Amino acid sequence: MTGILDRKDHYVEAFSQLESAVAENGPTWMQEIRHSAISRFTELGFPTTRDEAWRFTNVGPMATIPFRSATADRLNGGRFDTLEDVPFPALTACRLVFVNGRYAPELSRGQLPAGGTLGSLAALLQTQPDRLEPYLARQAPLERQAFTALNTAFFSDGAFVHLPQDVVLDHPIHLLFVSMGSGEPTVSYPRVLIIAEPNAKASIVESYVGLGEGVTLTNAVTEVVLGENARLDHYKLQRESRTAFHVATQQIHQHRNSALRSWSISLGGALVRNNLNVVLAAEGTECNLDGLYLVTGTQHVDNHTLVDHTRPHGSSREFYKGILDGKSRAVFNGTIVVRQGAQKTDARQTNRNLLLSDEGRVHTKPELQIFANDVKCKHGATIGKLSADALFYLRSRGIDLEAARGLLIHAFASEMIERIPVQSLKDGIAALVSAELLARQPGIGRS
């Protein structure tokens, strides 16, 4: 316990060393936010299992590692000969690539229609800070979030996506964040800011991958503001190395009649924490949150979601599935809040888990907090193993046990993938998930 509490001094000292660079790079208002953030982190320290929100996720192994921010010389030594295999073919038309949290223009391509902006936050903080001031670091709260405070204090770059009014994008935008492992533990702080003006419509894929060897920490924050009648399909795909730590917070603010569809897919990482917070801040808003996590060995993944209905006539649907093998651990904590006055809210939440071993463990806690009396809300959770009846049926049709297990596991995961509306994305994600399942369960794919 003492080690975790003392480790915050490492980050406070690192911030002190960066103060001169912070003063030179960015407007005064951003400097003030950074200083407030590191002060708040100093007060909070790293969370422990005594905190209810972290009860089943111990960040001690992560917090006691003296991570250092990657420097330019480390980036130059990276191997990118396989980078073309990282994006999906359908996403190469418009992508921004970041290596260890820094924009890599030589690996990026594409631009938005006239009036839109797709670029580096660091560049915009230098050239057009007034465009960012109303939004950047204004959406994701710091009060009780130590990792969000750390990201706000330390982020050096990130992606800015501005979708002008009435624009409709035909092809997805790909925001690719690459963690390069090295000889010593390194940390990156990716930041994403997405602004969708009224009636804008787009699909954005935010993916995290790992290259090279070594222990890495990705501490990411994404802020999204959806204007009136805006439509956003957002995909978060995490497939970093098995020695990677990954903590990410997404904070979405929705205006009147806006719609969000979110997919969160976790395939890699040693310890992964996904925080997804959606505020339905006006009437007629709707959100659909889907998630799939595959964990094996000693992997640990924790999904915490919060859907906050603040106004009447809001709708939310949430459906998360997990597949666990080995000694892996998974946590699902989903909270739906219906504020007083948010009448006619319609909210549903489901979490289903498939255990493939006797040593895997799931902690699931769907939760409703309702302060209005004219609502329709329900939640549910299941944890189970492969159906013996289904296995018997497949084996009676001449399919061996290994292949039968593979078919049932694949069918369990495929239900989530089939909900993806863009065919090219569906195919790409299906291929990734199938490859991951095949590596863990050799019977998958056999007939």
Map out the domains of the chain as residue ranges: 2-440
Q: What is the pTM of this model?
A: 0.93
- Region of residue 359 (left: phi > 0; alpha: psi -120 to 50; beta: else): alpha
Token digits for 250?
Answer: 């997404």
First to last CA, the chain: 51
Q: Classify strands 271-280 and 158-163 as parallel, antiparallel or unpaired.
A: unpaired
Rounded Cα distance, 273 and 276, in Å: 10
Token digits for 240?
Answer: 């970093």
Per DSSP, what are the bridge partners of residue 332? 303, 364
Written in H, E and C, the secondary structure of 155-167 is: CCCEEEEEECCCC
110 half-sphere exposure, CB direction, 13 A CA radius: 18
- Nearest one of 47, 48, 38 to 13, comparing CA atoms: 38
Residue 330: per-residue pLDDT = 98
- Region of residue 199 (left: phi > 0; alpha: psi -120 to 50; beta: else): left
Q: In sequence order, what are the residues at sequence separation of 6 or more whose Cβ sits closer than 8 angstroms to the Cβ of residue 52?
A: none
The alpha carbon of 373 is separated from its chain's Cα centroid by a whole number of angstroms, namely 33
Rounded Cα distance, 364 and 355, in Å: 13
DSSP letter string over 197-259? -TT-EEEEEEEEEEESSS-EEEEEEEEEEE-TT-EEEEEEEEE--TTEEEEEEEEEEE-TT-E
Residue holding tokens 């320290």?
A: 45
Q: How far are the Cα atoms of 140, 189, 190, 205, 239 from residue 100, in angstroms, in the given order?
A: 21, 8, 8, 18, 15
Q: Classify strands 102-103 and 186-188 as parallel, antiparallel or unpaired.
A: unpaired
Rounded Cα distance, 247 and 220, in Å: 6
Q: For 105, which DSSP code?
A: G
Give the tens place of pLDDT for each residue, 348-379: 999 999 999 999 999 999 999 999 999 999 99
Residue 75: per-residue pLDDT = 47
Residue holding tokens 């192994």?
A: 61
Residue 447: per-residue pLDDT = 36
Residue holding tokens 């897919």?
A: 265
Residues of the chain with pLDDT under 70: 1-6, 20-25, 71-90, 92, 441-447
Rounded Cα distance, 102 and 177, in Å: 9
Per DSSP, what are the bridge partners of residue 78? none
